[in-house]
Amino acid sequence: MVGSWPRPMELSRAQHLERRGDLSEIDCDRIADQAVVDLLRCQEDLGLDIVTDGELRRDNFYSFVADRLSGVVSMTLAEMLDLVHDKAAFEQLLQTLDVPAYSISNPVCVGRVARRQPLALPELRFVQRHTTRPVKVPLPGPYLMTRAMFVPEVTRQAYPTKEDLAEDVVTLLREEIGDLIANGADFIQLDEPVLTELVFTQGRTRTFMCAALAARKDPAEELELAASLINRVVDGWEGARIGLHVCRGNWSPDESTLLRGSYDPLKPFFERLRVQQLVLEYATDRAGDLMRFAGKELGLGVVNPRSSHVESADEIRRSVERALRLYPPDKLFLNPDCGFGTFSNRPVNTEDIARRKLQSMVEAARAMRTTFPPSGPAAHTASP
């Protein structure tokens, strides 16, 4: 499992009406509940072993925290252009996007940060009421959250540096993980896609997150900060698998706007992290060659969530066979490269194509299961 699923039209319309004040929260929740149940049935029917709620209740995979944290507000990138002092640099950032600036929201820290309510616990409990399968819960990672929320013009009133903000981010994420494990979460995934920007852009800012605003150090220093924050968040937990998802951007079907580069520069960093699994994209040639990461499971990306091409089971099986040269079967999970609906009002694919891609993934996993019983890759087919 990676994360998001395209929101059904009825749900997208309901969420828009609720934001305008034209639909009650209760009525919007009822529509969201049904959409999540429908997605769970879809995942079960396809044969996925690990399920999620598709992040259907979230605006996007990290901005949703603004609704659940004190000291944080949600702003569109267009609104942030009015806020920042260096407007020319921010406009240059926006020009790298293949999306309108008003369509992407970002959480911005404007005061002391703490959990006003749990980030994902209600989502977990709802899913558990409607499935008996293992449940995966994605959360924004501590480095992503810190960089995204630290906007100097307004954040420095509460936190002089982003490292100061990071202290409270670590605290609230540990609180959240503790609650999720206590309530039976099987897999907790921290999303840290912005890490690739540190090693693939050679100093040029190209990111779909305005997290770029907080990057002022040498990339090596930023990686050290990220490693420290992630390890502090995950240290000491038992009872759930904890993974880290890293990609090269997932905001547009236009691959030319996305980052490109092998994981090789990140390999030493990945192997220092105290997470059990790395959930990585490999279905695009932008990801480079497959490599082994010592001491880690691999969540192998085998379908491209942005393309209209539906990978065949044979194509996926060949990818798995290559991975099995580096990983034992019980350390290999199959999943899409990323989610299918990163931003609520701008999914990167349709429900139909996403479903067909997952079906191919399951078929390939089942075929491999006959070769590697009983704990082969098909034991760990993950959902969108």
| Helix/strand/coil (H/E/C) assignment for every residue in 161-222 | CHHHHHHHHHHHHHHHHHHHHHCCCCEEEEECCCHHHHHHCCCCCCCCCHHHHHCCCCHHHH
Q: Is the pLDDT of residue 92 over 90?
A: no
Are the C-beta atoms of residues 336 and 314 closer than 8 Å to each other?
no
Q: What is the mean pLDDT of residues 267-273?
A: 96
pLDDT of residue 323: 95
Its domain, for residue 64, covers: 9-380
Q: What percent of the chain has a predicted confidence (pLDDT) above 90?
A: 68
Q: Is the pLDDT of residue 376 over 50?
A: no
Range name among 79-93, 270-284, 311-325 with the lowest pLDDT average? 79-93
Residue 236 inside a domain? The answer is yes
Residue 285 inside a domain? The answer is yes
pLDDT band with cut points at 50, 70 and 90 for residue 95? low
Buried b (16+ CB within 10 A) or exposed e, 237-274: beebbbbbbbbbbbbbbeeeebbebebeebeebbeebb
At 14, list the tokens: 């309901």
What tens digit of pLDDT does each residue of 120-140 get?
A: 999 999 999 999 999 999 999
Buried b (16+ CB within 10 A) or exposed e, 42-71: bbeebebbbbbbbbbbbbbbbbbbbbbbeb
Query: Which CATH number belongs to the domain containing residue 346 in this structure?
Result: 3.20.20.210
C-alpha 114/C-alpha 245 separation (Å) is 24
Residue 3 inside a domain? The answer is no
pLDDT band with cut points at 50, 70 and 90 for residue 13? very high
Q: What is the mean pLDDT of residues 80-91?
A: 67
Residue 56 inside a domain? The answer is yes
Number of CB atoms found within 10 A of residue 11's CB: 21
pLDDT of residue 379: 42
Residue 74 inside a domain? The answer is yes
Place of tokens 């059904």: 8
pLDDT of residue 44: 97
Residue 1 inside a domain? The answer is no
- What is the overall mean pLDDT for the chain? 88
Count of domains for the chain = 1
Q: Is the pLDDT of residue 93 over 70?
A: no
At position 73, the amino acid (one-letter code) is V
C-alpha 40/C-alpha 360 separation (Å) is 18
Phi-psi region of 124 (alpha: psi -120 to 50; beta: other; left: phi over 0): alpha
Residue 354 inside a domain? The answer is yes
Residue 128 inside a domain? The answer is yes
